[in-house]
């Protein structure tokens, strides 16, 4: 997979069908998407990965959730970021592929200990474009600062990054070219963006094969 949007939310969670969002993704330069929720349809010539998001207040709760059959059946398992102790623990959970919503965590909640653990375990941190596109003023600047902090840790410890649009409609999807520009706002290089867009395939290969959905 050369370019994956690591999170889209089609109807009924969002406003656009999976088939329409898949078509848009292809036109925007993607060869795969991670779908959160129950989108209907069977897009052609695009890899569809099923993602599930875990939101937990403790490591114990997160582990309990990842052991549920529905979670174990998913292609990509995300966990929402929490405080420092939680993020350190989440980075070490084998079944977790990606820590997300890092923009909503307090500054320093994902620290050098979590970064080193993520690098050792191959756990990624997601860069969601939604706060960059949808937020304004101080909230947007805070998100950009969180991402700059994560980028600095990534360069030091070399844990994976993913990039997601978080789109709930085709109007919120962005092209690969636009993503390069948006990620440049907090200092990502062209090569770093390209690597992050292709990281989903490397994350899931040790666990299960990619499922191709076609007509």
Of the CA atoms within 13 Å of residue 22, those in its CB half-sphere come to: 22
**CA atoms of 69 and 184, how far apart (whole Å):** 39
171 class by beta-carbon count within 10 Å (0-12 exposed, 13-18 middle, 19+ buried): exposed
Q: Is the pTM of this model over 0.85?
A: yes
The string of DSSP letters for 110-167 reads S-HHHHHHHHHHT-EEEEESHHHHH--HHHHHHHHHHHHHHHHHHHHH---EEEE--B
Assess contact for 6 and 163: CB atoms under 8 A. yes
What 3-state DSSP class applies to 13?
coil
Please list the pLDDT of the chain residue by residue as tens digits (215 residues).
Answer: 689 999 999 999 999 999 999 999 999 999 999 999 876 655 667 999 999 999 998 989 998 999 899 898 999 999 999 999 999 999 999 999 999 999 999 999 999 999 999 999 999 999 999 999 999 999 999 999 999 999 999 999 999 999 999 999 999 999 999 999 999 999 999 999 999 999 999 998 754 444 444 33
Domains of the chain: 4-210 (3.20.20.140)
Residues in CB range of 154: below 8 A, 6 or more apart: 115, 125, 161, 192
Assess contact for 6 and 76: CB atoms under 8 A. yes
Distances (CA, A) of 47 to 7, 87, 178, 212: 13, 29, 21, 5
């Amino acid at each position: 997979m050369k370019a994956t949007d690591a999170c889209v939310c089609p109807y009924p969670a969002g406003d656009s069908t999976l088939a329409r969002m898949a078509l848009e993704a292809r036109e925007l330069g993607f060869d795969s998407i991670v779908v959160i929720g129950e989108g209907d349809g069977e897009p052609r010539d695009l890899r569809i990965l099923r993602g599930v998001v875990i939101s937990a207040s403790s490591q114990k709760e997160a582990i309990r959730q990842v052991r549920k059959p529905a979670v174990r059946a998913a292609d990509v398992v995300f966990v929402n970021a929490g405080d420092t102790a939680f993020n350190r623990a989440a980075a070490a959970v084998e079944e977790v592929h990606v820590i997300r919503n890092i923009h909503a965590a307090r500054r320093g909640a994902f620290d050098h200990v979590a970064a080193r653990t993520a690098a050792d375990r191959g756990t990624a941190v997601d860069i969601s474009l939604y706060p960059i596109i949808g937020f304004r003023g101080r909230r947007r600047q805070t998100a950009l600062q969180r991402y700059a902090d994560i980028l600095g840790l990534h360069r030091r410890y070399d844990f994976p990054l993913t990039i997601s649009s978080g789109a709930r409609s085709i109007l919120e999807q962005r092209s690969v070219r636009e993503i390069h520009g948006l990620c440049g706002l907090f200092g990502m290089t062209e090569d770093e963006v390209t690597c992050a867009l292709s990281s989903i395939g490397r994350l899931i290969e040790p666990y299960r094969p990619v499922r191709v959905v076609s007509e």
